[in-house]
Structure 1
């Protein structure tokens, strides 16, 4: 099993060193290498995993921010960050977050792609963390009908 992981990691590094794919493919391969090396998983602490935004009107946008800290002894990587729907565009701290370092995940919610009333949305984050590598961030708020 260990040889398989090492072979996969080396194969991914070789693939990344060639300019055969676009940026997305290189990032995806780098994420696979990080996730395969469980001996260097770390720990993290979220300041908040649920955030409420102030009421907005239809047509407006709201930005939410989720802050975290690397509480472990190895670099922390966010290897995949995806919104639960098309009304949210996620952003995040890229690259290695050193031990003790901090970062954030952001979400820009576009009410034009949603509905009036109470909304509750998710952002899904994959990390190289011990015990739990998948994290769900939730944000909620109220969208007025604009009248």
Structure 2
């Protein structure tokens, strides 16, 4: 009888250890392409909690002050989807190469996401050929 109780207890502990949140992003890179200065710099990383525990995103940080990320307000239930919104300051002309780091309780607790593109100077057109 003691053996049976011990086996059941070990099985229950093993099952609870394996239960975990898992974050799956639709894409880990957003390409702004060539955009005009002052245009809309808001984009979103879409993700799904493919684990079996609620996903809690504790923090989202960017590699510079020109990029402002916004995390979901509460936990994301298993099977549910949400977004991490990222706003880039498009008044800064030039190439965009930034990293957004996501901290969570997922099986991969730190995840790096990237944004890239180019903000064109005033008077330049996104339709214009570059030489």
- TM (norm. structure 2) is 0.74
Gaps of 5+ in 2: 1-15, 124-131
Q: Per residue, is there more strand in 1 or in 2?
A: 2
- CA RMSD across the alignment: 1.8
Mapping for residues 1-147 of structure 1, pairs under 5 Å? 39=17, 41-112=20-91, 114=92, 116-130=93-107, 132-147=108-123
Structure 1 gap ranges (5+): 1-37
Q: Which has the larger radius of gyration?
A: 2
Are the aligned partners of 1:77 and 1:94 in contact in 2 as well (CA < 8 Å)? no
Q: Displacement, 1:136?
A: 0.8
Deviation at 1:93, TM superposition (A): 1.3
Deviation at 1:84, TM superposition (A): 1.1
SS in structure 2 at match of 1:111 = coil
> If the length of structure 1 is used for normalisation, what is the TM-score?
0.66
Matched-pair contact (CA < 8 Å) for 2:33–2:116: no
Aligned equivalents of 1:89 and 1:61: distance in 2?
13
- Quick one: distance in 1 between partners of 2:23 and 2:102? 12
